[in-house]
Chains A and B, each alone.
Chain A
C-alpha cells in the first residue's frame, strides 16, 4: 500500500470509499490540499522558493518536493504549489512576505480542482485510454508533471511512482474524469 501514498501531500482520503479497488489498478480520492498558482519571472523564483520551502523547478514538466511541499512546473512562468490544507494562510503569507515588491501573482486555487490517485500495474494502461501521451517510464519518468487532455476534459497528470499517478481536474469535470476511469477499469475485471 505504500505505493498508494502518492507523496506526503496527495494521500488517499481515508473517509472516502475507493472509486475502484482491483488487484491490478485502484482509483482513490485524495485528501484536500492547499493549491497555489504562482506566476512570476525568473528574477522572482529564488525568493519564492525560499519562502515556500522548496525551489521552483525550471526544467519543463518537472517537480521539486520537500517534506509537505511540492512545486510543479506548469509553464515557463507558472507553477502550482502544494502544501497541507491547514497551512494555506501561513504559506500564502510567507511567500507574499518573501517577495515584497517583486512583481508576481499568487492565487489560492485550492478548491478549483480535485485529485484522484490512480495506482497499480495497469495504471499506465488505464490512463492511456484517454490520454495521448507515451506514459512509458522512459518517456514519462517518475516526477513528470504536465497538463493535458483526458478524453475531452483538461487534467493535470503527475507521476509520483512507477505505477502511481495523480490525476487532477477541475471540480466540475471530476465526475466525468473519474467516471470514465472507473468504467474502463471495470472492463479489466470483466475481461
Chain B
C-alpha cells in the first residue's frame, strides 16, 4: 500500500483515504466555445502517460476532502514531492535528477 502525504492535513496516511485523479496541471480552456473539436479532445482525453517522474492530482477524499498535487515516479511508484493545489508545477527534471533517475 502507498503512503500519501496530505499537505492540508500535514499527515501521511494510507492510500485508502485518497483518490488519484490523473495528470496534474491540465488547464480547462477559458472559453470552450472558441476551442476546436480537436483541441477539446486533447484537453479531455489526451495525457502524456509518462513513464518516469510526473505530476498528478490526488484528493484526500476520506480526510479533509482537498485536491492537491504529487510528483510520482510511475516506474517505482515512489512519491518525490507533494504540494498544494494552485502552486506552480515544480521542475520535474530537477526532481528526477535529485532522485537519481
Q: Which residues of A contact B (CB under 8 A)?
A: 60-61, 74-76, 78, 132-133, 146-149, 154
Contacts and interface: CB of A to CB of B under 8 A. Distances in A.
B64 A147 contact: yes
Interface of B: 1, 8-11, 13-14, 16-17, 62-66
B62 A149 contact: yes
A154 B62 CA distance: 7
Contacts of A74: 64-65
Nearest to A140: B11
B19 to A, nearest CB: 12
Contacts of A149: 14, 16-17, 62
B65 to A, nearest CB: 5
Contacts of B10: 60-61
Given A60-B10, A76-B8, A133-B13, A148 B63 contact: yes
7 contacts: A60-B9, A60-B10, A61-B10, A74-B64, A133-B14, A147-B62, A147-B64
The 4 tightest CB contacts between A and B, nearest first, are A75-B64, A132-B14, A60-B9, A149-B62
A75 B62 contact: no
Given A60-B8, A75-B8, A76-B8, A132 B13 contact: yes
